[in-house]
């Protein structure tokens, strides 16, 4: 763990920028990479706003805020993506992930640890085309990364157990609660939680109740958020993508069937809070 000084995050979307905030706040030199410079600019504003909020609430000092911001470097050239640990948080597409990791493997030495923040693509599948796959694993944060405590550490078939344990200690040092998981569809959390969304959507499809009522009933029974509010927060498109992936990985098992209602929202570009409209309007 002591050898890891610089951590790079690939992908400046909601997850990537959130993870960058976590690693920088924990004292690590952090590189946030995205080929899209506009995304990098948005990420910089997002991180600034998030830290402003924490500072105004008294959760961190102004000095801590400044030090955290100073630790983050924003880059859009992949040739500059050099670190001790690289965590990928790009699009959920196996071919694109393969291309990305093959590129960074050429730029970095064989001791560079490579990790994916994927929600559903098997770690072993991604590692299959990565040089030295024993240094590859899953480090799965949950959205919003600065707030959510849980992180899954997923070992593929070829992952070196020592590297997995090193990453567990590293992430735990950032104040996170880590669980070790084997490489199975959805890992632990997404497999268990999938039916929270899927069954809620089935109740809506069957017109048993509207989505506001379903959310209200679950929140009254102790859940912090109902499934529809949570899908809007995570991203309706992201949630749908994970469900579709798991449906395929479980060989079209009906209990993982994606919802046509969710598909319609995705097609309409209504992806939740990030687009100002999903199941709810924002």
- How crowded is the C-beta side of 50, counted as CA atoms within 13 Å? 21
CA dihedral 248, 251, 256, 258 (to 10 degrees): 40
* H-run or E-run covering 49: helix 37-56
**β-bridge partners, 181:** 154
List the structure tokens of 258: 């994606």
Q: Would you tell me how many other CB atoms lie within 10 Å of the CB of residue 235?
A: 22
Catalytic residues: 119, 140, 152, 190
Question: 264 exposed, middle or buried (CB, 10 Å; 0-12, 13-18, 19+)?
Answer: exposed
d(CA 239, CA 261): 13
């Amino acid at each position: 763990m002591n050898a890891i000084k610089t951590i790079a995050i690939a992908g400046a979307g909601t997850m990537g920028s959130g993870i960058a905030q976590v690693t920088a706040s924990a004292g690590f030199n952090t590189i946030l990479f995205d080929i899209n410079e506009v995304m990098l600019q948005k990420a910089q504003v997002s991180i600034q706003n998030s830290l402003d909020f924490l500072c105004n609430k008294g959760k961190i000092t102004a000095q801590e805020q400044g030090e955290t911001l100073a630790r983050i470097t924003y880059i859009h050239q992949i040739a500059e993506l050099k670190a001790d640990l690289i965590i990928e948080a790009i699009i959920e597409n196996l071919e694109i992930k393969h291309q990305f990791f093959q590129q960074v493997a050429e730029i970095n030495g064989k001791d560079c640890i490579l990790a994916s923040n994927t929600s559903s693509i098997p770690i072993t599948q991604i590692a299959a085309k990565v040089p030295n796959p024993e240094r590859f694993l899953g480090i799965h944060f949950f959205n919003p990364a600065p707030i959510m405590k849980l992180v899954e550490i997923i070992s593929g078939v070829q992952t070196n157990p020592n590297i997995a344990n090193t990453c567990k200690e590293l992430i735990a040092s950032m104040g996170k609660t880590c669980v070790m998981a084997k490489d199975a569809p959805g890992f632990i959390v997404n497999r268990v939680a999938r039916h929270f969304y899927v069954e809620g959507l089935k109740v809506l499809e069957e017109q048993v109740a509207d989505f506001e009522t379903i959310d209200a009933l679950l929140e009254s029974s102790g859940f912090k958020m109902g499934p529809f509010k949570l899908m809007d927060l995570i991203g309706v498109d992201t949630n749908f993508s994970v469900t579709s992936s798991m449906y395929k990985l479980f060989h079209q098992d009906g209990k993982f069937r994606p919802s046509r209602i969710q598909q319609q929202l995705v097609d309409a570009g209504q992806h939740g809070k990030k687009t100002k409209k999903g199941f709810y309007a924002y």
